Amino acid sequence: MTDVRGQAPGSAIALLEPLAPRPASRPRLTARTVLVLLAVYAGARVLSALLLLVVHRTGVVDDGPGGLGAGLAATLPGTGFTDLLQGWDGEYYRRIAEDGYPTDLPLDADGEVAKNPWAFMPVYPLLARGVMAVTGLGFGAAGTAVALLAGAAAVIVLHVLLLPHAGRRAATLGAVLLAISPMSFLFTVTYAESTFLVLVFGALVAMTRQRYALFAVLGVVAAFTRPGALALAFALVLLHLVRARRGLVQHRREHVAALGAATAVTLAGLAWPVVAGLVTGRADAYLATETAWQQEYTGHAGFVPFTPWFRFASAVLDPVLGPGAGVVLVTLLLGTTVVVVARRWNAPGADLTVWAVAYLAYLVAVFVPQHSTFRLLLPLAPALGDPGLTGTRRRAALAVGASLALQPVAVLALWVVVAP
């Protein structure tokens, strides 16, 4: 038995049916929705600012060595409120905005490359530097302004991304959940996350509409904003292969355009290590810098793709549960993730699932699971439009309530106590 397209219902082709093109008339973003989302975003940022102000007024970050906020305090340039917004990675962005990148890599007591600004891409600090030059503001205020504005744009673009795939209600709720999410306080501090998100979501909009030139431009800029743009190129390749298999690619020029866009973003994603090597005179400058952070969790220097999760789990679990426990746990976790993602192919908006597949694969390949994982999951915000979260009023209310309740927890745990 076959369907009207001549395909067996149970075939792999039928499984990927949701990846067919959308109708020509798609729901449009309305001015009213923009105003609602901006109002929600503004309220959420006021909440974030108040929480951070409470942290500042209580003096918790002035604790002495070993105190609750000692690690954060060590990265702050001063004791003012805007200084509090420049902690952790913000310290490196400030140094880049004010002084640029070093030509000599710092070394630790063991002769290994120490943490330094080369781990951080230039787009966000350059934007902050531009605001500083125009307004005369310091980095704390200028960097926060860039993060705030980019966060607002990211919320709007996420809604645009979700609208044709999830419907107006789910798209609006998904954007609201990003605006008020526990980690959304990062849109109020000097971090590059919001800048990266607006570029990624914009690139995904372009990808799902086959606007390959726009995808390439946004993807290339994203590649110099934060690590992760390689996942965009991978997602485009996956989606294009599926569309081609379905017979949805009618012209050779579309193959060329998609391949060209993916290649451009891939080259941009690989360019920063080359730049770091050329400036410092050390070919492995970027990787050596990144592993200065990973070594804290794995106990090993050096980098091998797709090993960080296994190395971390082995370092933590094997001494307690025995040899191989970490590898088994990570394998089970990854297997479960594959099953969950596979089930999403038949859900509405499944063409966004390719982004989840690509980005999760990227995280497994290069990152160590630790307290920054929650921040690194922000690019998966398109999943916030899933009906499982917002399909009923009860679910939506629970999701909104949980997000608001967890934001103070996130500020305390993932800003005051440890780096986000």
- Residue at token pair 């793709």: 305
Give the C-alpha distances (Å, rounded to integers) separating 125 from 93, 307, 328, 384.
Answer: 6, 31, 41, 29
Note the pTM of the prediction, 2 decimals: 0.90
Predicted pLDDT at 351: 76
Query: Which of 91, 53, 119, 48 minimizes the C-alpha distance to 190?
Result: 91
Query: Which of 360, 363, 367 minimizes the C-alpha distance to 311?
Result: 367
Predicted pLDDT at 20: 40
Give the C-alpha distances (Å, rounded to integers) separating 103 from 97, 271, 277.
Answer: 15, 17, 10
Predicted pLDDT at 10: 38
Q: Does residue 251 belong to any structural domain of this protein?
A: yes
Q: Does residue 216 belong to any structural domain of this protein?
A: yes
Q: Does residue 304 belong to any structural domain of this protein?
A: no
Number of domains in the chain: 1
Contact 146, 249 (CB under 8 A): no
Predicted pLDDT at 110: 82
Each residue's pLDDT expressed in tens, for the chain with a length of 420 residues:
444 344 444 333 333 334 444 445 678 889 999 999 999 999 999 999 999 999 999 888 876 666 788 899 999 999 999 999 999 999 999 999 999 999 999 998 888 899 999 999 999 999 999 999 999 999 999 999 999 999 999 999 999 999 998 889 999 999 999 999 999 999 999 999 999 999 999 999 999 999 999 999 999 999 999 999 999 999 999 998 888 887 777 788 888 999 999 999 999 999 999 999 999 999 999 999 998 887 776 666 567 777 777 777 777 777 777 787 777 887 888 778 777 766 665 555 567 889 999 999 999 988 888 889 999 999 999 999 988 888 889 999 999 999 999 999 999 999 999 999
How far out from the chain centre does Cα 309 lie? 18
List phi, psi (to 5°) of 107.
-120, 150
Q: Does residue 364 belong to any structural domain of this protein?
A: no
Give the C-alpha distances (Å, rounded to integers) separating 30 from 33, 34, 285, 392.
Answer: 5, 6, 47, 23
DSSP annotation string for 107-148: B-TTSSBPP-GGGS-SHHHHHHHHHHHHH---HHHHHHHHHH
Burial of 62 from C-beta contacts in 10 A (0-12 / 13-18 / 19+): middle
How far out from the chain centre does Cα 45 lie? 19
Give the C-alpha distances (Å, rounded to integers) separating 21 from 208, 210, 349.
Answer: 9, 10, 11
Predicted pLDDT at 2: 41
Q: Does residue 367 belong to any structural domain of this protein?
A: no
Query: Which of 116, 93, 96, 108 minimizes the C-alpha distance to 186?
Result: 93
List phi, psi (to 5°) of 137.
-70, 155
Predicted pLDDT at 331: 83
Q: Does residue 292 belong to any structural domain of this protein?
A: yes
Q: Does residue 322 belong to any structural domain of this protein?
A: no
Burial of 278 from C-beta contacts in 10 A (0-12 / 13-18 / 19+): exposed
Q: What is the largest CA-CA distance in the chain?
A: 73
Q: Which domain holds residue 192?
A: 31-298+385-416
The set of residues, in sequence order, having a beta carbon less than 8 Å from that of 146 and lying 6+ positions away, is 124, 127, 128, 131, 195
Q: Does residue 86 belong to any structural domain of this protein?
A: yes
DSSP letter assigned to residue 383 = G
